[in-house]
């Protein structure tokens, strides 16, 4: 039975983007179902699949996995040849640490710069807390790239990169300044075929979520 990934809007759902791009980049086959986050039956449909009632949810036969990082861990165990985590123990521990930091942190950045794939690139001011988040992310990326050689955080694209993919989108969309290594990393992520596929689908979506449109009531689109 094929893997089945339940996700939210591709324009807005950062959590959904993580396992999706991880699977696509690794060549792991799966079916997908998109449910708009503001659909009237969203909670009922997703709760029937996962008690958390949130996306993403990965279905593998009788197994249900929710939470992006848990999905990536499950996939790494199921498909070891995909190399979602680096093979050396030290690098693997480092990758898990930065992925977990992303999973649990950076709330000011998340709130102030929501993922929005169709918004034209335009700067947006952030407060000191979000600016600190950006500085920390820039430092994480720069350290990993210097230590492990790039072009992705641990050489090849993997689970840690998938966890940071929505941040790449945010920093690009809102024209946030980062150092040269971080910018080169962002460019590498955004030229992935998987990125292009996701973004193209996002631009075709009809749903508008006002709370994720920072220019509301305007909804600028590329």
How high is the pLDDT of residue 222?
Answer: 84
Q: How far apart are CA 130 and CA 138, in angstroms?
A: 12
Per-position pLDDT tens, the chain of length 222: 699 999 999 999 999 999 999 999 999 999 999 999 999 999 999 999 998 999 999 999 999 999 999 999 999 999 999 999 999 999 999 999 999 999 999 999 999 999 999 999 999 999 999 999 999 999 999 999 999 999 999 999 999 999 999 999 999 999 999 999 999 999 999 999 999 999 999 999 999 999 999 999 999 998
pTM over the 0.85 mark: yes
Q: For residue 30, what are the β-bridge partners?
A: 3
How many CA atoms lie within 13 Å of 29's alpha carbon, on the beta-carbon side?
2
List the one residue out of 208, 216, 214 whose CA is nearest residue 11. 208
How high is the pLDDT of residue 1?
Answer: 60
Domain boundaries, the chain: 3-82, 89-198
Q: How far apart are CA 3 and CA 147, in angstroms?
A: 34
Say if domain 3-82 classifies as CATH 3.40.50.300. Answer: no
71 and 52 Cβ atoms separated by less than 8 Å: no
How high is the pLDDT of residue 196?
Answer: 98
What top-level class would CATH report for the domain 89-198? Answer: mainly alpha
């Amino acid at each position: 039975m094929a893997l089945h990934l339940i996700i939210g809007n591709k324009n807005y759902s950062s959590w959904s983007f993580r396992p999706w791009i991880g699977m696509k980049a690794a060549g792991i086959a799966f079916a997908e179902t998109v449910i708009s986050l503001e659909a009237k039956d969203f909670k009922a449909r997703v709760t029937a699949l996962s008690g958390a009632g949130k996306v993403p949810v990965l279905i593998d036969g009788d197994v249900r996995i929710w939470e992006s990082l848990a999905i990536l861990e499950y996939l790494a165990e199921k498909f070891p040849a995909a190399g979602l985590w680096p093979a050396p123990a030290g690098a693997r521990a480092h990758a898990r640490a930065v992925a977990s930091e992303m999973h649990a942190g950076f709330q000011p950045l998340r709130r102030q710069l929501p993922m929005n794939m169709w918004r034209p690139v335009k700067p947006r001011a952030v407060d000191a807390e979000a600016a600190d988040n950006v500085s920390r992310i820039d430092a994480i990326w720069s350290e990993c790239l210097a230590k492990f050689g790039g072009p992705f955080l641990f050489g090849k694209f993997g689970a840690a990169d998938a966890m940071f993919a929505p941040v790449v989108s945010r920093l690009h969309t809102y024209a946030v300044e980062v150092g040269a290594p971080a910018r080169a990393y962002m460019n590498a992520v955004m030229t992935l075929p998987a990125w292009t596929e996701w973004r193209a689908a996002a631009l075709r979506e009809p749903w508008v979520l006002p709370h994720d449109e920072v220019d509301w009531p305007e909804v600028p689109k590329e």
